[in-house]
């Protein structure tokens, strides 16, 4: 009873200040494109890695913030984002109207599993998987590089954005890779996007 009363007091205080209480990220993701959302999370993909935007996450999930180059956020900063949900080539994003530092301490979970873990259910979150490289690295600059890995559940595209500054020159077919990164989508396919060199580990050669 005391917990419920405290929660109600916090919501009432926020409303008196004119601030909407933030939703959890999974609650925000359940809304429709065009709806307004307020979310808080820790930065999991810093500005400038994928593009000018960044990603945030809390204990329930993650989402990409389609910010412009006037904002720069680094990993582990905690922010409150107010904006509108929209679709960006199949990826659900928040187009922000305001971004502010927040005082909370949300934790981003990393979900590990097979290649099939990358999909709608994990979109926006951090994931980790392992697979065997099926062919040569494909140069897709100025955007980045494409690496396809496969395990028993199927093939997965690893998209290495230029902004991640990852050296892919030593990666070749037949290697087993452990990849950690952002679970994303581009048009009709899902992909994992590593954020830095430590997100790609060659397990054997």
Same domain for 115 and 193: yes
- Roughly how many angstroms between the first and final C-alpha of the chain, as a whole number? 59
At 19 the pLDDT is 60
Average pLDDT over residues 60-67: 98
Mean pLDDT for the chain overall: 91
Residue 7 lies in a domain: no
Which of 101, 118, 150 marks a domain boundary? 101
Reported as a single tens digit per residue, the pLDDT across 167-196 is 999 999 999 999 999 999 999 999 999 999
Which of 101, 123, 141 marks a domain boundary? 101
With contact defined as beta carbons under 8 Å apart, do 71 and 183 qualify?
A: no
Could you tell me the residue range of the domain that residue 55 belongs to?
21-101
At 53 the pLDDT is 98
With contact defined as beta carbons under 8 Å apart, do 95 and 86 qualify?
A: yes
Same domain for 182 and 150: yes
Same domain for 199 and 121: yes
At 104, the pLDDT band (50, 70, 90 cuts) reads confident
Which of 58, 81, 101 marks a domain boundary? 101
Q: What count of Cα atoms within 13 Å lies in the side-chain half-sphere of residue 122?
A: 24
Same domain for 199 and 114: yes
Same domain for 154 and 130: yes
At 99, the pLDDT band (50, 70, 90 cuts) reads very high
With contact defined as beta carbons under 8 Å apart, do 124 and 25 qualify?
A: yes
Average pLDDT over residues 138-155: 98
At 21 the pLDDT is 82
Same domain for 90 and 55: yes
Average pLDDT over residues 155-163: 98
């Amino acid at each position: 009873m005391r917990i419920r009363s405290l929660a109600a007091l916090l919501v009432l205080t926020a409303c008196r200040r004119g601030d909407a209480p933030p939703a959890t990220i999974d609650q925000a993701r359940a809304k429709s494109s065009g709806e307004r959302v307020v979310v808080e999370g820790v930065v999991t993909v810093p500005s400038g890695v994928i593009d000018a935007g960044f990603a945030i996450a809390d204990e329930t999930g993650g989402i990409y913030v389609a910010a412009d180059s006037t904002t720069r956020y680094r990993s582990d900063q905690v922010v409150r984002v107010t904006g509108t949900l929209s679709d960006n080539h199949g990826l659900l994003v928040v187009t922000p109207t305001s971004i502010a530092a927040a005082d909370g301490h949300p934790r981003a979970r990393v979900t590990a599993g097979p290649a099939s873990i990358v999909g709608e259910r994990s979109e926006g979150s951090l994931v980790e998987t392992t697979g065997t490289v099926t062919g040569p690295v494909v140069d897709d600059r100025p955007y980045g590089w494409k690496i396809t890995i496969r395990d028993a559940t199927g093939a997965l595209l690893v998209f290495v954005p230029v902004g991640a500054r990852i050296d892919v020159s030593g990666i070749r077919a037949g290697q087993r890779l452990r990849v950690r990164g952002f679970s994303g989508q581009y048009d009709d396919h899902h992909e994992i996007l590593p954020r830095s060199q430590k997100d790609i580990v060659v397990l054997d050669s």
